[in-house]
Amino acid sequence: MYFPVNLKPATLLACAAIAGAAQAAPQFSITPPTGSGRAGEVLRIAGSGLAPSTSVFIEIGGVEAGPGDLLTDATGALPPTLVLLAGALPAGRHDARIMAGAPAVFRAAYLVRPVVTLDPPIGDGRAGATWRTNKAVPLGGFVGMVFTLAGTGFPKGAFIAADSIHLGRAATVHDPVRIGADGVLPSVTLVVASDLAPGRYDLVLPPAGGAAATFPSAYNVAPWAATDTVRQHGAGRVLEAARKELKDLVKIGADVLPPEEVKDVTTDLAGAEGELKAGNFDNAEDLSRQVRDKLVVLGRQVEETRKEKLRSFADVIGSGFDTIQPPGAPPNRQAGATVDKGRRRLAEAQAAITAAKFEDARTLMKAANELLKKARAEAGVQATEEPIRW
């Protein structure tokens, strides 16, 4: 670049700053960058170089990642925040699309790999049979090694032919199954066709839109398994309850949850799942209950933080009404009716905050805030505070 010799140093510095700002590119990260693509999966995101103080909308592979009220700070950064995948994603690398003033696309930001769940993941070694394959079995019942298989993160639209899934080298009997467009493997019942010796067995799926998928040591054969079915189901229910509670907590408090504590919880959940797959049902249930105890504590923290934040918004709105019509003063001739209506909405919002009905409180406060704007226009009063960033 050519500059005239009489250009002042301060001008040169300003030009350099402008040039540097123009070169700054948006940055975005997902942690972990690889996952199952399961609907409701918890991800940690962060970004920089975005438009400052702007609402952020995020899609990963065309699926929304919420909550939908994310905001960048004054520097254009999106601090580490927890989000949930609103839907499932098929196998492969997926772009992340960020809308924060202007759209930005981050190629191959998230990798989805298949995962499966078996229920139960353990059997007693006897060849299986159901009422469909053996008339001696009561309607709806089964004996021996029979389990349901489901999964996420598979190639979309792929087809798995009947009786093509194996446990180690053992054949299974099952219906044909089609993978959904979202990569979800719908639940299918597998009947193991032969006796198996004790030990751990790989689950092998045939090529379905790609290479064959092998899930090492997915199924455990043990002679005592039949007596532990109730324990396994009990531990599984506690684990699923803990997963749901984490999902619900992230929904209402993603922006105030400490990411490191959530990471600890998700690590414990993974450990509980591993114990369940290994047949250590008591350990799995204990870990899951510990997670639920931690989530109770985190939930209280989120609730108090939410209440404090919403009450501060209510104070701002209430002071706005007081500016137009101080408490105890005669009704404002131009805006009195609107002020009264707004104060009623605000009182309803404060009651909802006390009851921890946060979505109701936000809706009521937004209505009160709109009434405040209307009252100010009617009374000819200018706002003095910063606009509320919901």
Domains 23-112 and 115-223 share a fold: yes
Task: List CB contacts of 340: < 8 A, sequence separation 6 or more.
Answer: 331
Distance of CA 385 to the CA centre of its chain: 34
CATH node for 23-112: 2.60.40
Q: Cα 200 to chain center, whole Å? A: 32
CA–CA separation, 362 vs 375, rounded Å? 20
Q: Break the chain into its structural domains and give their ranges.
A: 23-112, 115-223, 224-390
Tens of each residue's pLDDT in the chain, 390 residues: 333 334 344 433 344 334 444 446 899 999 889 999 999 898 999 999 999 989 899 999 999 998 767 889 999 999 888 899 999 999 999 999 999 888 999 999 999 999 999 988 889 899 999 888 788 888 878 889 999 999 999 999 999 999 999 999 999 999 999 999 999 999 999 999 999 999 999 999 998 766 778 999 999 998 776 666 667 778 888 999 999 899 888 877 777 788 788 888 989 998 998 888 787 888 999 999 999 999 999 999 888 988 998 999 999 999 999 999 898 888 888 899 999 999 999 999 999 999 989 889 989 999 999 999 999 999 888 877 666 665
Tokens 């927890």 correspond to: 82
d(CA 127, CA 174): 14
SS3 content of the chain, % helix, strand, coil (to 5): 40, 25, 35
Nearest Cα to 165, choosing from 229, 208, 133? Answer: 208
Locate the DSSP E strands across 179-301. 185-192, 199-205, 213-221
What's the CATH fold of domain 115-223?
A: Immunoglobulin-like (2.60.40)
